[in-house]
Amino acid sequence: MRRPPPQAPGYLIDYDGRRFSPSPAAPGTPTIAHYHQDQELVWAEFSGGEVLLGALTGTSAPDGELRFAYCMVRTGGEVVTGICRSVPEVLPDGRIRLTEYWRRFGAAAASGLSFLEELPPDAEPVH
């Protein structure tokens, strides 16, 4: 069983150093997001699969809910921007699942629901 990471003071979840990937996993190379946190500020870089490079910047509420903006460049050269609210759930093994309520802007405008799951700490790094 995973030991809980050190927590930012006053925050239920510390995202710093955690890695997340879509769930269920799509075939091929997965998109992996590497999260960082300093107090309420949260940011991440992500790439893999259909994403050449992406970044997000936002905030974490004390209960672990995230609100952020993101931007990514997809493999076809398309630039995608949007906003997201992620609600955490602690899984029985101590990892985190994020339920993401997202909205994209511009030519790729859409909204939807997706899920990310924390990768186990012993999972091989992909990037």
**11 occurs within a structural domain:** no
Q: Which pLDDT tens digit goes with each residue over 70-122?
A: 999 999 999 999 999 999 999 999 999 999 999 999 988 999 999 999 999 87
CATH code (residue 93): 2.40.128.30
Task: Say if residue 113 is exposed, middle or buried (CB neighbours under 10 Å; 0-12, 13-18, 19+).
Answer: exposed
Within-domain flag for 50: yes
pTM of the model: 0.86
Asked whether the predicted pLDDT for residue 5 surpasses 50, the reply is: no
> 41 lies in a domain?
yes
Domain count, the chain: 1
pLDDT in the model for residue 121? 83
Helix, strand, coil percentages (3-state) for the chain, rounded to 5, are: 0, 55, 45
Residue 81 lies in a domain: yes
Cβ-proximal residues to 81 (8 Å cutoff; 6+ apart), any chain = 69, 70, 71, 104, 105, 106
Residue 80 lies in a domain: yes
